């Protein structure tokens, strides 16, 4: 059994690689839900959907969110009726949000709905939200505190990032699937996917039992760096690290995950500064352009983790 902690695109890609090299039912992908929010009365859970769509082969690779071959008739009609246009919901993507919202309102857990959707889309691995309890990432910026999606999408990460807090995290329990994976006797390895450490992985670690279980782990935990050549492959991670006075480097990442990881996978472009991390390293090509890249990086990372003592 493998447990992977994942955010959006980068996490989804490595998770898809893991799914490609592992037997069905042997990978649990625990996904950040700090980005979740209500929009137009619908419960949107972006990272869970990105992981689900990617493993189902339905993801929109150009956009980095939503479904491929997406159409926008709903948004056009909604704007004519006064809906805000800053968060786009594709016609196909909308089905996920509408059906999830209906089931949540009927009392079903996000875990149960996520598992059902994954099964219906033919996904053989376990996708679990980090928690079924609401955790909401709130970004303190030079324009004041903004809910995550206001900062990330509406304001396009333009306000200077000061601090993030995870409202509700202190009371949140890990989802049953994440807890089962953490306590699973057959657990071999924990992976932290190449997701934004501050926005995507920190919310998962903010759920108290998760950090505790990780600190008390009996199996190796390895992080794959989201940085290549001292910057982020995608998204605002480098900008945010800079605004926090941090570098987009292996050493800064090792600091971020101090005590939680036993090794670090970094890109060849950062090989010269890898030793500053003070951790066992796998230096390889971490850019995942296609599914072959995803599977190769997943296999190399698993082999590296298996080589580490714990």
Contact mark string toward a second copy, 26..65, x via CB under 8 A: --------------xxx-----------------------
Shortest CB 91 distance to a second copy, Å = 4
Q: 185 with 2: CB under 8 angstroms?
A: no
- Cβ atoms of 283 and 271 within 8 Å: the answer is yes
In whole angstroms, the minimum distance from the beta carbon of 40 to a second copy comes to: 5
Nearer to a second copy, 92 or 296 (CB): 92
Q: Are the C-beta atoms of residues 249 and 227 closer than 8 Å to each other? A: yes
Q: Cα–Cα distance between 84 and 31 in angstroms, integer?
A: 27
Minimum CB distance to a second copy, residue 82 (Å): 6
Pick the stretch among 21-29, 98-106, 153-161, 270-278 that binds a second copy (CB under 8 A): 98-106
The DSSP output letter for 269 is G
- Binding-site size for a second copy (CB under 8 A) equals 33
Calpha distance 276→204 (Å, rounded): 26
> Shortest Cβ distance from residue 123 to a second copy (Å)?
12
Whether the CB-CB separation of 254 and 222 falls below 8 Å is answered with: no
Report the candidate in 298, 56, 8 with the shortest Cα–Cα distance to residue 152: 8
- Compare residues 58 and 298 and give the one whose CB is closer to a second copy: 58
Distance of alpha carbon 25 from alpha carbon 297, whole angstroms:
20
175-214 positions binding a second copy, by CB under 8 A: none
**Residues 92 and 49 sit within 8 Å (Cβ to Cβ):** no
Q: Which stretch binds a second copy (CB under 8 A): 95-103, 154-162, 165-173, 256-264?
A: 95-103
- Let me know: does 5 contact 192? Beta carbons within 8 Å: yes
CB of 159 to a second copy, least distance (A): 27
Residue 96 interacts with a second copy (CB under 8 A): yes or no: yes
Based on the shown chain and the rule CB under 8 A, indicate whether residue 92 belongs to the binding site for a second copy.
Answer: yes
Q: How far is the CB of 22 from a second copy (least distance, A)?
A: 25
Q: For 25, how many CA atoms within 13 A lie in the half-sphere containing its CB?
A: 1
Which of residues 9, 94, 164, 181 is near a second copy by CB under 8 A?
A: 94
Query: What is the footprint of a second copy within residues 101-160 (CB under 8 A)?
Result: 101-102, 105-106, 116-117, 120-121
User: Hey, which residues between 64 and 83 contact a second copy (CB under 8 A)?
Assistant: 67, 70-71, 73-78, 80-83
Token duo for residue 206: 């903010």
Quote the CA–CA distance of 164 and 145 in Å, as a whole number. Answer: 9
3-state secondary structure 139-152: EEEECEEEEHHHHH
DSSP lists the bridge partners of residue 273 as none
Give contact residues for a second copy (rule: CB under 8 A): 40-42, 67, 70-71, 73-78, 80-83, 90-96, 98-99, 101-102, 105-106, 116-117, 120-121
């Amino acid at each position: 059994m493998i447990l992977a902690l994942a955010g959006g695109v980068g996490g989804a890609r490595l998770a898809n690689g893991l799914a490609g090299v592992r037997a069905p039912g042997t990978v649990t992908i625990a996904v950040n839900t700090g980005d979740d929010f209500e929009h137009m009365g619908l419960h949107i859970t972006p990272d869970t959907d990105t992981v689900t769509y990617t493993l189902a082969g339905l993801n929109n690779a150009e956009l980095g969110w939503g479904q491929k071959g997406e159409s926008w008739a709903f948004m056009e009609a909604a704007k004519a009726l006064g809906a805000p246009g800053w968060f786009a919901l594709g016609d196909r993507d909308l089905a996920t949000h509408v059906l999830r919202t209906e089931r949540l309102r009927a009392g079903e857990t996000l875990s149960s709905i996520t598992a059902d959707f994954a099964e219906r889309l033919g996904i053989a691995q376990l996708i679990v939200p980090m928690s079924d309890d609401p955790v909401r990432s709130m970004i303190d910026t030079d324009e004041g505190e903004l809910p995550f999606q206001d900062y990330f999408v509406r304001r396009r990460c333009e306000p200077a990032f000061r601090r993030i807090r995870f409202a509700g995290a202190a009371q949140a329990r890990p989802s049953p699937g994440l807890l089962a994976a953490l306590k699973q006797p057959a657990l071999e390895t924990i992976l932290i996917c190449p997701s934004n450490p501050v926005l995507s992985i920190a919310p998962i670690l903010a759920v108290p039992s998760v950090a505790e279980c990780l600190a008390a782990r009996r199996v190796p935990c390895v992080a794959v760096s989201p940085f290549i050549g001292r910057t982020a492959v995608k998204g605002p991670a480098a900008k945010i690290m800079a605004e926090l006075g941090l570098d987009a480097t292996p050493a800064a990442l090792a600091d971020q995950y101090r005590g939680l990881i036993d090794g670090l996978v970094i890109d060849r472009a950062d090989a010269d500064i890898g030793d500053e991390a003070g951790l066992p390293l796998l230096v390889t090509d971490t850019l995942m352009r296609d599914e072959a890249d995803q599977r190769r990086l997943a296999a190399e990372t698993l082999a590296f983790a298996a080589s580490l003592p714990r």
